[in-house]
């Protein structure tokens, strides 16, 4: 019976389109799933969407559609996205599915049977962003302590869960299972949090209707975190008449989550499970955050990364590689197109790509397009590869992807050094193409490349398959046996040619890029269009249901909403292009304030900086600052948009004093 491994990603909120944060966790999960399969595990990999709660309800209202319509629109984006990233999930759960409702009701029945649910009333500060209550003492400057979101006072009747009763059992569990929370720093944070004391948890909402109805009380819906966390078992049929999947896969081996939602997974979830008398997951890993230019990404800052352009241009593998190589798993890291391109050229085009094409070109030339016919079992590369594969496996087992990849790249460097030292071209010249030494030398290089391909396969599955085909390995097996020296077939035809990673001219890339990812701030209220992008029909199994389409409804605003936007006339005093951008112009504008305002605008294709200086423009002066290509913009210029998308700046009909308001 093969060993089993059940791993999960968080289920993603549907108030927003998928972005780099969602992609990251899912790519990490996919890499782990593939690496476990390589190690002989039978793997189950679950992801999905979290569709209830106040956050979704509000986002839908803002767009004039129902929460279910919003959810359907956003969920429709996931199957093509996961297909584009080569994600091999076995299931996709939506919290609006009947199987999930059944699971949540079954969970509540167990908590109730244990006597851990009672009715009371709640008054507290609620953060809709985090979908959590916070005690007044924890608020920071009147906002939620986790994310700085606004909070609102909520007072209502509620069902409670006796979380306080689980303080000691949780602490005991952490002590007995130090591997339950990873990384270790986060383990300490959670233990400290629980040691400070746990209050009973409100687990229903009376003032909200968008949720799973509370069993037997139509006046309440289930609190969205109790609802969402239960997905990990409802997707296995918990609460249904068929428990086969549940029996086979639960408890989960790994819940992968971002650090912001660790507490829900490491405190609330195990407490619910203890109360329900169900086994606890074996590990919860809280990973770090991707920052943009060292700042937190958020819709309001307009700096959320959706790497569509990079994906379209490079395919999934370089991005997957970047995400795993750049971030020390568990810590924060900064995402930038420049950082991606630097790593692409250095590690992929130069490192892996060049070494592979150098060695393959020699085999093509000397052995008539075939692999060598001699094998060598005693050489420096074999030694190195043994050490590297051991380090690679050890690092992958503890999710140190960065270290694992560093080890692989050491083997690549060793191949390069070996080629230089053995100089196969001199051997060929001196001894001819049939030389056994020449065959052995190139065998060692090609065999090392085969090992590299197997090791990178969990991270870059497409590239690994191409490289293996180029090496003449047909129907490669990606199991542990494939990591033993000697798997390269002898005298076998090499597969198709072609650079794995064509080098990128970074300057030309930025000059040509149609969309500079940081050049297009999201609107604060992102509108999710009804139509989904053209996508391949086959989705990762099983596909999420297709979205229903409904025409977007233009939202109406009251005069008081309009009055919140401060429009001001100002004169451009300085204008220059933002380096590496063909669109962005940095301006310093006199808005009648003591200091000039720095504003960055995407108008450089239509306007030369010189023609802007001295012009009066209209500016949204109270927009939250955003960083565009590393330059902070403290306002937004108003422009009309021509049919081809070109901007035409707005200006007062005649000159007015700088700082004049516009309404
Ligand atoms: N719906 C909840 C999870 C419920 S799980 C039972 C949720 N959803 S989310 O869509 O807001 O976030 C999903 C995941 O994305 C979280 O793990 C979060 O940490 C992660 N990320 C969101 N932004 C991120 C980055 N900028 N970087 C890395 N991951 C981040 O929370």
Contact 314 CB / ligand 1 (< 6 Å) = no
Say yes or no to pLDDT of 663 above 90: no
CATH class of 336-483: mainly alpha
Is the pLDDT higher at 203 or at 143?
203
Q: How far is the CA of 21 from the centre of ligand 1 (A)?
A: 6
Q: How far is the CA of 22 from the centre of ligand 1 (A)?
A: 6
Ligand 1 probe mutation, 7, 16, 22, most atoms within 8 A of CB: 22
Ramachandran region, residue 410 (left: φ > 0; alpha: ψ -120 to 50; beta: rest): alpha
Q: How many other C-beta atoms lie within 10 A of the C-beta of residue 13?
A: 21
Contact 110 CB / ligand 1 (< 6 Å) = no
Q: What angle do CA 106, 109, 110 make, to 5 degrees?
A: 90
Say yes or no to pLDDT of 360 above 70: yes
Contact 163 CB / ligand 1 (< 6 Å) = no
At the topology level, CATH places domain 561-662 in OB fold (Dihydrolipoamide Acetyltransferase, E2P) (2.40.50)
Domain ranges of the chain: 336-483, 561-662
> For residue 353, what pLDDT is reported?
97
Q: Which among 311, 268, 317, 261 is positioned nearest to 86, based on CA atoms?
A: 317
pLDDT 10s digits, 247-262: 999 999 999 999 999 9
Query: pLDDT band at residue 555, thresholds of 50, 70 and 90?
Result: low
CA gap 117, 109 in Å, rounded: 10
Q: Which among 172, 183, 462, 474 is positioned nearest to 331, based on CA atoms?
A: 183
CB 323 within 8 A of CB 343: no
CA gap 538, 408 in Å, rounded: 33
Burial classification of residue 18, based on how many CB atoms lie within 10 Å of its CB (0-12 exposed, 13-18 middle, 19 or more buried): middle
> For residue 527, what pLDDT is reported?
61
Summary mean pLDDT of the chain = 89
Q: How far is the CA of 355 from the centre of ligand 1 (A)?
A: 38
CB 208 within 8 A of CB 218: no
Q: How far is the CA of 12 from the centre of ligand 1 (A)?
A: 6
Say yes or no to pLDDT of 298 above 90: no
Q: What residue's CA is closest to ligand 1, atom 22?
A: 21
CA gap 318, 334 in Å, rounded: 16
Local structure of residue 254 (DSSP, 8 states): E
Q: Mean pLDDT throughout 221-225?
A: 97
pLDDT 10s digits, 309-351: 889 999 999 999 999 999 988 899 999 889 999 999 999 999 9
* Cα 290 from chain centroid (whole Å): 8
Return all residues near 436 (Cβ < 8 A) that are at least 6 apart: 374
The SS3 of residue 111 is: helix
Q: Mean pLDDT throughout 605-614?
A: 84
Say yes or no to pLDDT of 384 above 80: yes
CA gap 360, 367 in Å, rounded: 10
Q: Mean pLDDT throughout 165-175?
A: 98
CA gap 624, 200 in Å, rounded: 37
Q: Which among 300, 229, 326 is positioned nearest to 270, based on CA atoms?
A: 229
pLDDT 10s digits, 186-210: 999 999 999 999 999 999 999 899 9
Q: Which of 237-246, 297-306, 564-573 shows the lowest per-residue confidence on average (mean pLDDT)? A: 297-306
Is the pLDDT higher at 532 or at 587?
587
> What sections of 336-423 are H helices per DSSP?
337-343, 355-366, 380-397, 401-422
Q: How far is the CA of 10 from the centre of ligand 1 (A)?
A: 7
Contact 321 CB / ligand 1 (< 6 Å) = no
The length of the chain is 663
Cα atoms in the Cβ-side hemisphere of radius 13 Å centred on 398: 12
Q: Mean pLDDT throughout 522-530?
A: 50
End-to-end C-alpha distance for the chain, whole angstroms: 72
pLDDT 10s digits, 422-433: 999 999 999 999
Burial classification of residue 239, based on how many CB atoms lie within 10 Å of its CB (0-12 exposed, 13-18 middle, 19 or more buried): buried
- Using CA atoms, how far residue 299 sits from 20, 52, 499, in Å, is 13, 20, 38
Query: pLDDT band at residue 299, thresholds of 50, 70 and 90?
Result: low
Expressed in percent and rounded to 5, the helix, strand and coil fractions of the chain are: 40, 20, 40
Q: What residue's CA is closest to ligand 1, atom 12?
A: 12
> For residue 520, what pLDDT is reported?
39
Say yes or no to pLDDT of 649 above 60: yes
Is the pLDDT higher at 519 or at 105?
105
Phi–psi pair at 417, nearest 5 degrees = -60, -40
Where do the DSSP E strands lie in 253-349?
A: 254-258, 284-287, 290-292, 295-296, 333-335
The SS3 of residue 406 is: helix
Query: pLDDT band at residue 546, thresholds of 50, 70 and 90?
Result: very low
> For residue 529, what pLDDT is reported?
63
């Amino acid at each position: 019976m093969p060993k089993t491994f059940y791993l999960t990603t968080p289920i993603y909120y549907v108030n927003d389109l998928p972005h780099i944060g969602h992609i990251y966790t899912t790519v990490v999960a996919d890499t782990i799933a593939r690496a476990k399969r390589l190690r002989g595990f039978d793997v189950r990999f679950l992801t999905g969407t979290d569709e209830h709660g106040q956050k979704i309800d509000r986002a839908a209202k803002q767009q004039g559609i129902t929460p279910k319509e919003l959810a359907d629109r956003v969920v429709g984006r996931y199957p093509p996205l996961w297909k584009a990233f080569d994600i091999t999930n076995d299931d996709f759960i939506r919290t609006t599915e009947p199987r999930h409702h059944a699971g949540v009701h079954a969970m509540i029945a167990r908590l109730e049977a244990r006597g851990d649910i009672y009715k009371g009333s709640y008054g507290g500060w609620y953060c809709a962003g985090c979908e959590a209550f916070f005690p007044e003492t924890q608020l920071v400057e009147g906002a939620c302590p986790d994310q700085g979101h606004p909070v609102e006072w909520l007072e209502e009747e509620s069902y409670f869960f006796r979380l306080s009763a689980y303080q000691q059992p949780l602490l005991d569990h952490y002590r007995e299972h130090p591997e339950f929370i990873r990384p270790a720093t986060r383990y300490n944070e959670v233990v400290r949090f629980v040691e400070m004391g746990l209050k009973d948890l409100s687990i229903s909402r009376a003032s909200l209707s968008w949720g799973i109805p509370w069993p037997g009380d139509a006046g309440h819906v289930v609190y969205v975190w109790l609802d969402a966390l239960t997905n990990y078992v409802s997707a296995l049929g918990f609460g249904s008449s068929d428990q086969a999947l549940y029996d086979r896969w639960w408890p989960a081996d790994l819940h992968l989550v971002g650090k912001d939602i660790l507490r829900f997974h490491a405190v609330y979830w195990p407490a619910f499970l203890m109360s329900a008398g169900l086994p606890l997951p074996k590990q919860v890993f809280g990973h770090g955050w991707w920052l943009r230019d060292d700042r937190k990404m958020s819709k309001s800052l307009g700096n959320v990364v959706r790497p569509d352009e990079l994906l379209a241009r490079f395919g999934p593998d370089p991005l997957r590689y970047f995400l795993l190589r750049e971030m020390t798993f568990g810590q924060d890291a900064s995402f930038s197109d420049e950082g991606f391109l630097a790593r692409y050229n250095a590690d992929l085009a130069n490192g892996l790509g060049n070494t592979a094409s150098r060695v393959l070109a020699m085999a093509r030339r000397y052995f008539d397009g075939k692999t060598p016919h001699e094998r060598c079992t005693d050489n420096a590369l074999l030694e190195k590869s043994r050490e590297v594969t051991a380090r690679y496996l050890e690092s992958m087992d503890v999710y140190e992807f960065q270290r694992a990849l560093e080890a692989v790249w050491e083997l690549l460097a060793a191949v390069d050094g070996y080629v230089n030292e053995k100089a196969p071209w001199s051997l060929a010249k001196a001894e001819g193409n049939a030389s056994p030494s020449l065959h052995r030398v190139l065998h060692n290089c090609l065999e090392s490349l085969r090992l590299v391909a197997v090791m990178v396969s969990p991270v870059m599955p497409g590239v690994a398959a191409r490289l293996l085909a180029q090496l003449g390995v047909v129907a490669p097996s990606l199991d542990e046996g494939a990591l033993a020296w000697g798997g390269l077939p002898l005298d076998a035809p090499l597969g198709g040619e072609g650079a794995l990673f064509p080098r990128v001219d970074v300057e030309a890339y930025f000059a040509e890029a149609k969309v500079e990812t940081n050049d297009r701030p999201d609107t604060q209220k992102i509108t999710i269009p009804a139509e989904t992008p053209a996508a391949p029909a086959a989705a990762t199994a099983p596909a999420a249901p297709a979205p229903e389409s409904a025409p977007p409804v233009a939202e109406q605003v009251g005069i008081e909403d309009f009055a919140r936007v401060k429009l001001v006339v100002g004169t451009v005093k300085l204008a220059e292009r933002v380096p590496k951008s063909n669109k962005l112009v940095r301006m310093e504008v006199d808005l009648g304030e003591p200091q000039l305002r720095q504003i960055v605008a995407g108008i450089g294709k239509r306007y030369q900086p010189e023609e802007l200086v001295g012009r009066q423009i209209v500016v949204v002066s109270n927009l939250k600052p955003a960083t565009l290509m590393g330059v902070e913009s403290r306002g937004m210029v108003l422009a009309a948009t021509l049919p081809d998308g070109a901007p035409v700046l707005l200006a007062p009909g005649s000159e007015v004093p700088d700082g004049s308001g516009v309404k």
